[in-house]
Amino acid sequence: MKFAVQVLEAPYNNQASDTAYHFIKAALDKGHTIVRVFFYHNGVVNANNSAEPPNDDRNIYKRWTELGKEKGIDIVACIAASKRRGIKEGQIVEGTRISGLGQLADMTIEADRLITFG
Amino acid sequence: MMDEEMEVNENVKKVMFVMRKAPHGSIYSYEGLETVLITAAYEQDMTMVFVGDGVFALVKGQDTTDIGIKGFIKTYGALEHYDVEKIYVDRVSMEERGLTPDDFAIDVEVKEAEEIAALMEEQHATIPY
Amino acid sequence: MLHMVNKSPFSNSALEEAARIASKGSPILLIEDGVYAARAGTSFAPKLADILKDHPVYVLTPDLKARAVDKLVEGVEQVDYSGFVDLVEKDKVHSWV
């Protein structure tokens, strides 16, 4: 089945990014497809590459790189929400990209299931 | 041209936006509305339903001048130009907050919980803001 | 439709709104801080028992463990992340964030 995932909150501040990651891993393990992950609201902070989380905790940014680069999942931060919060092209987490809200509409239409973590 | 239009129509999906956040105190309601406007360009069968504090976003007379935040109550009035015409308010949420349909800046249809539930079940996708 | 709630019922009305609007028989999944709603012996527990009359209620086990919620209201079922995916595969999902 084709899943689309929306993340609405910033990493670490809320558990949304963690739950989304565990959900995506479990879905991939079961042979499902992730059409796209879309970051909106403060969720765009997930794409901020200048963050340096402490070494004794999980690195949420690296998880997105793992899913985006190694697993080939399309991971998009909303451009309008990113601009508001200082997330810029060229300064984003490897394996993610910045694009418009149309990417959310597209994945909503294409996927069998849209699931939002906020 | 005809063929292209046919193809688009076949792909029309029901998408519902469930608005549950009050305006101004957080950006959810404002950015949520931006998503509705963009999604409208995709010519899907769209519905907006206001539940819980979401109903406060529609109240007329909002003046954000003194808090220095850009108000967006007027944007709801523009929704019909985007062909977003199914705009519903949950009756219990409205009444709990001491509101009546006359308090809203736009015409809305008040729905019972069971009607909203039935609408939700029909959707291809529901998006919470 | 699966209704997913991630907020504590002691600080947020999400679960009560979800349960009020969800059609009878549709499942509710509690995740993150939402799992506190399933704890036995709280002031919310009788409300969850009422919700259980109309809806199957699931809780995400990793979130229970993380919060030391070890006594559950009777009738609540546990799922892991794999079971979570199965629930979403079975039904469309709305997230009451």
Contacts of C58 in chain A (CB under 8 A): none
Measured at the CA of C80, the angle between CA C75 and CA C85, to 5 degrees, comes to: 105
Q: Are strands B14-19 and A113-117 parallel, antiparallel or unpaired?
A: unpaired
Interface membership of C66 toward A (CB under 8 Å):
no
- Ramachandran class of B127: left when φ > 0, alpha when ψ lies in -120 to 50, beta otherwise: beta
Tell me which DSSP letter residue A94 carries.
T
Which residue, A80, A93, A23, is CA-closest to A52?
A93
CA distance C85 to A22: 10
Task: Decide if A78 is catalytic.
Answer: yes
Q: Count of CB atoms within 10 A of residue B102's CB?
A: 6
- For the CA atoms of B97, C96, B123, C1, the dihedral, rounded to the nearest 10 degrees, stands at -120
Number of domains in chain C: 1
Return the residue matching tokens 């239409």.
Answer: A109
pLDDT of residue C49: 98
| CA of A59 vs chain B CAs: smallest distance (Å) | 26
A5, A9, A15, A41: best to mutate for the C interface, most C CBs within 10 A: A15
**Nearest chain C Cα distance for residue B86, angstroms:** 18
- Assess if residue A116 is contained within a domain: no
Tens of pLDDT, residue by residue over C19-64, are 999 999 999 999 999 999 999 999 999 999 999 999 999 999 999 9
Cβ of C79 under 8 Å from any chain A Cβ? no
Q: What is the CATH number of the domain that holds C13?
A: 3.40.1260.10
Q: Tell me whether residues C13 and B121 touch, CB distance under 8 A.
A: no
Q: Mean pLDDT in runs of 10 for chain B (129 residues)? A: 51 95 98 96 96 98 97 95 96 98 98 98 98
pLDDT tens, position by position, A13-42:
999 999 999 999 999 999 999 999 999 999
Q: Write the CATH number for A105.
A: 3.40.1260.10
Query: How many domains does one find in chain A?
Result: 1
pLDDT of residue B11: 77
Locus of tokens 């997230």: C95
The top-level CATH class assigned to B12-128 is: alpha beta
Show the domain range for C6. 2-95
Q: β-strand A33-39 against A2-7: which pairing, if any?
A: parallel
ipTM: 0.97
Q: How far apart are CA A79 and CA B49, in angstroms?
A: 26
Nearest to B45 by CA among B89, B9, B79, B2: B9
* Inside any domain, residue A48: yes
